[in-house]
Amino acid sequence: MLRTAVLVSGGGTNLQAILDAKAAGKIPHAEIALVIASNGRAYALERAAKAGVPGIVVHKEKGEAIEAYGERLLAVLRENRIGLCVLAGFLTILPENVIRAYDHRILNIHPSLIPSFCGKGFYGLKVHEAALERGVKVTGATVHFVNEIPDGGGIIAQKAVAVLPGDTPEILQRRVMEEAEWVLLPAAVEETARKIENPEL
Ligand code: GRF
pLDDT at 93: 87
Please answer whether residues 122 and 130 qualify as being in contact, where contact means their C-beta atoms are separated by less than 8 angstroms.
Answer: yes
pLDDT at 80: 98
What is the dihedral sign for C-alpha 63, 64, 65, 70?
negative
Choices 3.40.50.170, 1.10.3720.10, 3.40.190.10, 3.10.580.10: CATH for 2-197: 3.40.50.170
Choosing from 123, 128, 158, 184 the residue with most ligand 1 atoms within 8 A of its CB, the one to mutate for a pocket test is: 123
pLDDT at 156: 98
Nearest atom in ligand 1 to 125's CA: 2
Report how far ligand 1's centroid is from the alpha carbon of 199 (Å).
30
Q: How far apart are CA 106 and CA 63, in angstroms?
A: 25
Q: Where are the domains positioned within the chain?
A: 2-197
Nearest atom in ligand 1 to 141's CA: 4
Divide the 201 residues of the chain into consecutive groups of 10 and give the mean pLDDT of each group. Answer: 97 98 98 97 98 97 95 98 97 94 98 96 96 98 96 97 98 98 98 94 73
Read off the amino acid at residue 150: P
pLDDT at 201: 73
Please answer whether residues 18 and 32 qualify as being in contact, where contact means their C-beta atoms are separated by less than 8 angstroms.
Answer: yes
